Amino acid sequence: MVRKGFLASPENPQGIRGQDEFVRVSWDEALELIHHQHKRIREAYGPASIFAGSYGWRSNGVLHKASTLLQRYMALAGGYTGHLGDYSTGAAQAIMPYVVGGSEVYQQQTSWPLVLEHSDVVVLWSANPLNTLKIAWNASDEQGRFLTFPHCVTAGKS
């Protein structure tokens, strides 16, 4: 299925996205449309303009993982922009090596006493530490008290 306005004029599609009518096309025509647009975008904007970071569907086995198939195709076609990390910890995986020297998001965490001992300022960023920090996975078991905060304040690190 293809938007009617796009099919009539792929270079200058008419109609409003989300409100345009869809029309049935053959597999051959659909593949030709995809190929033409992919080639046009790659030639106009380069391989960095092609994002191949789909989480997509998946089934058992590596062959049935959508992101693997997409990235193989895009690599054969001239390159692409991928993604870093995963859905849950992508930002942390990118910044942690610069902050603590390694990507600790899935490794043994540094203890809070050690963090406080070796830091001048502690910045908590992008999470609710009362229930999401892996470093204190049992914080919610403490009736909502995050036991490190008082030590952080006492040490003058907050």
Residue 23 DSSP symbol: E
Let me know the angle formed at the C-alpha of 94 by 89 and 97, rounded to the nearest 5 degrees: 110
Question: What is the tens place of the pLDDT at every residue in 74-84?
Answer: 999 899 998 87
pLDDT of residue 87: 74
- Catalytic site residues? 55, 57
Q: Cβ(157)–Cβ(120) under 8 Å? A: yes
Query: Which amino acid is it at 74?
Result: M
pLDDT of residue 27: 96
Q: Which residues of the chain have pLDDT under 70?
A: 54-63, 125-149, 157-158
Residue 51 DSSP symbol: B
